[in-house]
Every structure is written in C-alpha cells, then in structure tokens.
Chains A and B, each alone.
Chain A
C-alpha cells in the first residue's frame, strides 16, 4: 500500500532525493552540475534557517554567522592547523552549532523575540564579519585560500558529480531530520512556541530549552553549508562567509518555497536560483547575446508576485490547487 509511505511523509522525500541523485546521469554538462551544486549549498543553509524560523518562529536575519563559522572553521583548520578537511568538517559543524547555542542563549535568555531577535542575529553576523575582516588569524581582508589538491581524501573532487552527491546527501539527511522533528514531540513543542510562546509555557513547555535546541541544530546545518561552500570554491573572505548575501538567500529560499515545510527550502532554492539561470539562457538565446542583469529583473518581478500572491510559498499554492500535496504539511 503506497499510502503508508506517503502518509508517513518519508515517501516523497525518498522519491525527490532519488530523482535528484540520478539527475547527473541524465546529462554530462558541468555547467548544470556546478550550478546544482551551488543550489544544494543554498538549500542546506536555507534548511537550517527553516528549522529555526519556519518551525520555531524565530526569524533570524543573521544566518551568515553560522555559515561563516562553518566556512572559516574548515578553511582555517586546514590552513592553520594542517587538519584533514574530513576531520575538520564535523568540528566546523560543531563550531556552528556551538555558535548557535551561545547566540541563542544570550538572546533567548534576554527574551528577545520577533524583530528584536532578528536584529540581534543580524548584529552578530556583522560583528563576526568585521572581526574576520580585521584579525590576522583569519587572514584579514585577504581571506583564506585553501590549497588546491584535488583528491577525494582531501575533500576536493575531480568529478563534479562527487561533490553534488555529497551535498545532496547532506540535504537528504536534513530533509529526513526535519520531517522526523516535525512529527516528534520536540517538533510539537517547537510549533507550540512558534504559535504562542506564552501559552506553550503555561502548558509546561520549556520554551528556552526548545528554542536553544532548535538554534543549535539550525547553526550546525547552516555551518555544514558553509563548509561545502569553502570546499567548493576553496577561497573565502569575510564578505563571502559572513556577508549578508547568505543570510538573505537562506531566508528567501524558504519564504519563496514554503516556510515551515520540509521541502520549502529546496523548492525555493531551485526556483530562485534556477529561474535566474533559465531567464539568462532564454534571453541570450532570444536576443542572440547576453543581456546583463535581465535575470535579476525577472527575479525581482517574480519575487514581488510570490510575496503578493503566494504568501505560503510555492508549495502552499500547490497544496491549494492539488489536494494530494496536503499530506506533506508538517
């Protein structure tokens, strides 16, 4: 009975992941693979944001803080301490999670909510950016360059598919984790805190502990995205790692895709970044030459339409018109 898998919600995840996993066999263009690799990095960062903001209702404007910790963590561990990147990976994820705990403890204990919490996270990310930019340990404004040594043991792959599958396995893991959390007691607490924190506390939910757990997980996931970014491009500086661009990408993707849903970040990232690429290619083909910035124009228009007509994201719209998607709602 197919329904069993589907009502449990794991079925769609497995199907989507399997479809994404066989995608590289369908074509050999490195352009597309390179692009999809980047989409998955953004997805992962967005999944981290979605866990905290989508399920927990704690809107962060500063997920760059975690992303940067992961990126700088894995880069500096190699450059300064000569660690193997595979060993540095869990350490950097832990560093991101720890940053989440500390940041969360400081702000949640002070009972910062809503826009106050958002502003504090933004401030943290900016402070990290300025520190990374100034400190000689982080390479200052010159950034960190990870030496090029293309071997799998060194977390640098000759074949772009390897990187893609690795990133996909991270995304798949977080998809499963998110789904599991959404159905667990912890997830219920999280949603309770999102919907009405005071009521949740009155019912005996330890709101601080729940939020701390969420931000720790969220920090770790987004840090993993930072690690992948650093290993993909092998160069980071303060603006790339802690700059506002990633904070914005991490929150735009779930908002477009569907906030507080398992697939929201993935759908949003594919749509956001994919539309840009598609319009760019389309206009180049249509006009016989590249029109710089046309993708950004289309992007802006779509964003306006999305916010105006699909406040629950693309998945929200799908769910409205196709009842089958209702099952996926956490």
Chain B
C-alpha cells in the first residue's frame, strides 16, 4: 500500500476513472501494452556544466512526457518511451561510461551531450554499437565530419553560426546607417572563444570593420576590470564578447559600473546574453545586449506550452530546453516512421527525416551527412527585460535597437 500513500482518495478515484475510460476507448488490439522503448538522455548534470545539463534534461523530460501522454509510438502499438538518464559529469570519460551503461540497458537511441568534447567521445562510443546519437548542442564542426553513420546534429554547427553572426551584423549595421566602424573582441581562450576570435579577426575587416584589439581571458575569470578598462581606453563602437556565463555577466556589470557604453554589445554564442537568469538578475546591464545563438521559435504555439511547463518547474527559459525538447521529438518521429526500435532502422529513418513540428526556427529537418541543414542560429536582443529575436526577419518578433547610444 505504500505506493498509494501519496494520493488522497479523490485523486485516486479520478485516476481510476480516467484509467477505465482510457481502457474502454482504446481499441482492443492496443490494449496489450507494447514494450517500452528506452531512450538514452545524456547530459552533464554534475561538474562545471551542470546548469546546462539540467536544462537539457528538462527539455527531454517534457518531450517524453508529452509524447507518452499523446499515446506513445503509434506504429508500434502505442509503445511508451522510457528515459534512461546518464550523467556525463562534464567530461568525455563520464560521457563514454554512460554510453556503455545505456548500451547495457538496451537503449534504442541517445540524445544529448551538450559540450563538444562530450559529444565527440560519446557519439564515437555509441557508433561501436550502431546506437543512433542525436547531438543537442555541441557546435564543433568535427562532430559531423568524422563519417560516423550514427551521429546526427539537430542544431547548427560553429561554421554556420559564425557566418550567420557576421552576415547579420553587417545587415544590422547597414540598416542603421553604418554607425559602427570599430570593434573590440573579447573572448575566452577555449574552443568557442578562440575559434570565434580568429574568424572574426579575419572576416570583420573584409566587411568594413576595424578590429582595434582582441582581448583573451581564461575561464574562469573572477575579475574583468582590466578588460573593461581596456575597452574604455580603446572606445570602440562595438564590443563583441564570446565568453561563458559568469565571465560575460562580470564584464557586462563592470562595463555598466564604469559607464562604458559602446553603440552595441554584439555577442556570438554567448553563455549569458540569451539567458533569462542574467536578464532577471541584472536587468540594466543586460538591456539591449545582442547575441547570435540558439533560440526557440517563440511564434509557434507549441513553444508557449513548453515554456509554461519550464516555468511550472521553477526554471528559467534557456536554449538547452527547446533544443533537447525538439531533438527528442525528431527522434520520436524517426522511431514512429521506422516502426521499430531497431537501431539501423532508426538511423535510416533519421536520414530521411523531414520533421517540422519542433519548436526551433528551422523549418523541416533534412540531415546531410548527419548535419541538419535547415538548422540556423538567430540573433536575439534583450529588450525591456525580455529576450526577443531580431534576425532573421522571417522569425523575428522584435525590431533591433541599434545603435544603443
């Protein structure tokens, strides 16, 4: 009886009633419950990347709950999807170990990874067993360039994000009458930041911008005063930061305190500029900050439901959640079409995927060598304490505010 202790009599009756209605309304063939299909959800929920991992897991959980509530996989007799969760511990060893465990538990596919090194190692470990691996975030272009047949990425890669960032920056500047000419690049010295800085340094001059200086800083950094003072001395029109959450928050706050006001802050794949926690905790510092990043398509009705679900869980809205939510839907669609939990069949189904009922601003999926070619990053801007999409215009829900000063 211990199982029932959480219910009161009324809710128990309700559940029983609902249950019996459901049983009656279901056709007899489906009454025999099909065996559940196990889906591996791999996220780093301990260690340095724990915050991102938690939000990714939340997205996957919401998706699985929705799918099961809607009757599971219909082509397999309403088979339910069951989550096998794995903590990647913010490192590739942890990710690989969890893939091995998921293999032992017999998952049909794996979704997640978050960080590029985890995705690289985990997808490779999964490839040994032909487990379809759907990368949620990891932007490193190496992920889909290894010729692994099992590895797919729903979101955009580094190359595509950066070229979108550059194109949109030019559009933004041209539309405002070219107010910005000089740029200071601030970047963390890891994979994102360094690669980004190198690319920007090469590409910005070709597009009519002058790069005054490139300032690198390590992650973690506990003080950004020197970087801020350097920016003040150089007095650029634009600051382009590419850092993780804490460092960017520090920089934005320091710039605010020192009253350093460039014509715009234009972040690329920034940890904070598209994070509601930053917007809520430091509204003044965050106001008008632009970012080129993953973001959900806020115009789709389904997005609002997911967002409400996230808020009900007491969490803020981050890109990890809609990306994982959508990735699980893409996978479920593939399983539905494959009509089987057979891994090779799911891989085939993913290869022919044209799924558009997700909540990212991508259009129907189309995987070419594992990469979803429809995926794109969007430009966001913090406006009046909300994060709005300003580019591309087809999915935008606000007009850019530029120049700020």
Q: How far is the CB of B110 from chain A (nearest CB, A)?
A: 14
Choose the segment among B187-195, B260-268, B353-361, B386-394 that binds chain A (4+ C-beta atoms closer than 8 Å). Answer: B187-195
A29/B104 in contact, CB under 8 A: yes
B96 contact from A140, A141, A148, A233, Cβ within 8 A: A233
For B87, what are the chain A residues with a Cβ–Cβ distance below 8 Å? Answer: 290, 292-293
For A142, what are the chain B residues with a Cβ–Cβ distance below 8 Å? Answer: 140, 142, 191, 195
Choose the segment among B119-127, B166-174, B340-348 that binds chain A (4+ C-beta atoms closer than 8 Å). Answer: B119-127
For B124, what are the chain A residues with a Cβ–Cβ distance below 8 Å? Answer: 148, 233-235
> Which of chain B's residues has its CB closest to A158's CB?
B128
Q: Which 4 A-B pairs have the closest CB atoms?
A: A292-B45, A141-B191, A31-B100, A141-B194
A235/B121 in contact, CB under 8 A: yes
B117/A143 in contact, CB under 8 A: yes
In the assembled complex, the Cα of A303 lies from the Cα of B18 at a distance in Å of: 51
Q: Mark A281-300, 1 if CB is under 8 A from B, else 0.
A: 00000000110110010000
**A4 proximal to B (CB < 8 A):** no
B190/A141 in contact, CB under 8 A: yes
For B194, what are the chain A residues with a Cβ–Cβ distance below 8 Å? Answer: 133-134, 140-141
B120/A133 in contact, CB under 8 A: no
**B227 proximal to A (CB < 8 A):** no
A sample of 29 inter-chain contacts (CB < 8 A) reads: A29-B104, A30-B104, A31-B100, A31-B101, A31-B103, A34-B100, A34-B125, A35-B100, A130-B189, A133-B189, A140-B198, A141-B192, A141-B195, A142-B142, A142-B191, A142-B195, A147-B146, A150-B128, A158-B128, A233-B93, A233-B96, A233-B124, A234-B124, A235-B121, A239-B190, A240-B117, A290-B86, A292-B45, A292-B87
Interface-central residue, A34, A38, A134, by most chain B CB under 10 Å = A34
In the assembled complex, the Cα of A150 lies from the Cα of B124 at a distance in Å of: 11
In the assembled complex, the Cα of A292 lies from the Cα of B44 at a distance in Å of: 9
**B97 proximal to A (CB < 8 A):** yes
**A145 proximal to B (CB < 8 A):** yes
- CB within 8 Å of A: which of B90-121? 91-93, 96-97, 100-101, 103-104, 117, 120-121
A133/B190 in contact, CB under 8 A: yes
Known: A133-B189, A147-B146. 17 other contacts (CB 8 A): A30-B100, A31-B101, A31-B103, A38-B93, A130-B189, A134-B189, A142-B191, A142-B195, A148-B124, A148-B127, A148-B147, A234-B121, A239-B190, A240-B92, A290-B86, A292-B50, A292-B87
Q: How far is the CB of A270 from chain B (nearest CB, A)?
A: 15
- Which residues on B are within 8 Å of A, measured CB to CB? 45-46, 50, 85-87, 91-93, 96-97, 100-101, 103-104, 117, 120-121, 124-125, 127-128, 140, 142, 146-148, 189-195, 198
Q: Mark A7-35, 1 if CB is under 8 A from B, else 0.
A: 00000000000000000000001110011
For B91, what are the chain A residues with a Cβ–Cβ distance below 8 Å? Answer: 240, 245
For A296, what are the chain B residues with a Cβ–Cβ distance below 8 Å? Answer: 46
For A240, what are the chain B residues with a Cβ–Cβ distance below 8 Å? Answer: 91-92, 117
A237/B117 in contact, CB under 8 A: yes
Q: How far is the CB of B132 from chain A (nearest CB, A)?
A: 17
A237/B191 in contact, CB under 8 A: yes
For B127, what are the chain A residues with a Cβ–Cβ distance below 8 Å? Answer: 148
For B101, what are the chain A residues with a Cβ–Cβ distance below 8 Å? Answer: 31
In the assembled complex, the Cα of A86 lies from the Cα of B120 at a distance in Å of: 23
Known: A141-B195, A142-B195, A145-B146. A35 touches B97 (CB 8 A): yes
Q: Mark A118-153, 1 if CB is under 8 A from B, else 0.
A: 000000000000100110000011110101101000
For A150, what are the chain B residues with a Cβ–Cβ distance below 8 Å? Answer: 128
For B147, what are the chain A residues with a Cβ–Cβ distance below 8 Å? Answer: 148
A31/B189 in contact, CB under 8 A: no
B117/A235 in contact, CB under 8 A: yes
In the assembled complex, the Cα of A79 lies from the Cα of B198 at a distance in Å of: 22
In the assembled complex, the Cα of A148 lies from the Cα of B147 at a distance in Å of: 9
For B189, what are the chain A residues with a Cβ–Cβ distance below 8 Å? Answer: 130, 133-134, 141
